Amino acid sequence: MFSFLKKEPKCYAVEDEIRITLLGKTGAGKSETGNTLLGREYFVAKDYGTSVTRKCCLGEVIRGKKKIVVVDTPGLYDTKLSKEETKKELAKCIGLTTPGPHCFLVVIQVGRFTFEDHQTVKDLMHLFGNEAQRYIIVIFTKIDSLRGDQSLSYDKKFQNYIKRIPEDLHNFLVFCGKRFIGFNNNQPFKKRNQQVDQLLKFIQDTMIRNGGRFYSNEMYEESERMIQAQVLRVDKMLQQMAKEKEDNLRLEIEKENQTRRKQALENEVKRLRQELEKDRNDEELRRKIRSEIEKETGSFLDTLWPYLKMGLTVVVEKLIKDKLGIDVATMLK
């Protein structure tokens, strides 16, 4: 069994270190787990939903012949830190554990696997890339809060709990090679040693399986490059979609404008035709009126002419008589 030493008796080489980074949602118990690993109250831990850890914090302890380096990180979904700020702070854990962590301890509280829990796992994998899955061990905290038969031990209750976990969480455990362990951080530190020994052996077995390799800054940078490439692809795709949408909208507007212009033109042609037809009707009416007037006038003159003729004869006879003194009417008799 490993034992704690308060002071380092010697300088430890990098190969004698076990470098651990704690990751997880706010309130999952990362800081408590870090204190369990360090054997003392090193990180500030509070039992509520606001993250106490706002910056990456590093603690060290000697256990057996190994130097244990533990980095506590800000919790995801802390309302007092933006997602971008949290991401930048999480990235610092690589530098604090130079040349890189041997293990990512993803801390999940037992109970209902919420949307935030699911999103936390998704965000962590997105941040550190698929390469990180070889270095992940899942720690389920607060197994002492599991309900069930009081005669059962915490370990047995935890085993029963794992059998009933939702599909999303089960798939994540499979993705991580089913590397998980249950933790009870509420016990006195002396009683926590057994689960710490079990976890450290778990980590060392993982290190052996990975050939002694650790998650390096180069891996993180490669993940960042892949993320940036994906962002560029998505951005390009969105720009293309936006351009297509804009082009389609422009075509729709142009089509609508053409339809409006066509309709306006048709309306104008219709109006001109109506005016032309009205003019034609007016001209026909004028012709009819003129014809009627001429017809009526001609008939009236024909009727009036004999009377006019008689009247003119009388006038002429009177003028001859007045001017010449000749009575034409008497002469004609």
pLDDT digits 0-9 by tens, 170-219: 988 998 889 999 998 888 877 788 889 989 999 999 889 888 888 766 66
Question: Quick one: pLDDT at residue 107?
Answer: 92
Q: Please write the tens of the pLDDT for every residue from 203-262.
A: 999 889 888 888 766 665 665 666 566 667 777 888 888 888 888 888 888 888 888 888
CB 177 within 8 A of CB 165: no
For residues 61 and 189, give the distance between their C-alpha atoms in angstroms, rounded to a whole number. 14
Rounded to whole angstroms, the Cα distance separating 286 from 308 reads: 31
User: Do 202 and 179 meet the contact criterion of CB atoms below 8 Å apart?
Assistant: yes
Q: Find the range with the poorest average confidence among 139-143, 166-170, 268-272, 305-309.
A: 305-309
In the DSSP assignment, the letter for residue 108 is: E
CA distances from 300 to 292, 305, 316 (A): 12, 9, 24
Q: How confident is the model at residue 48 (pLDDT cuts 50, 70, 90)?
A: very low
**Distance of alpha carbon 303 from alpha carbon 291, whole angstroms:** 18
CA 242-245-249 angle, to 5 degrees, is 135
Residue 81: which of 139, 25, 42 has the closest Cα? 25
Q: 106, 55, 107: which is closest to 81 by C-alpha?
A: 55
Give the integer Cα–Cα distance in Å for 217 and 129.
12
Q: Residue 76: what are its φ and ψ, rounded to 5°?
A: -75, 155
Q: What are the tokens at 220?
A: 């993180």
- Whole-angstrom Cα distance, residue 124 to residue 132? 9
Domain 12-215 has CATH 2.40.128.90: no
DSSP 8-state assignment for residue 7:
S
Domain range annotation of the chain? 12-215
pLDDT (0 to 100) of residue 180: 93
CB-based contact 69:44 (threshold 8 Å)? no
Instruction: Answer yes or no: pTM beyond 0.95.
Output: no
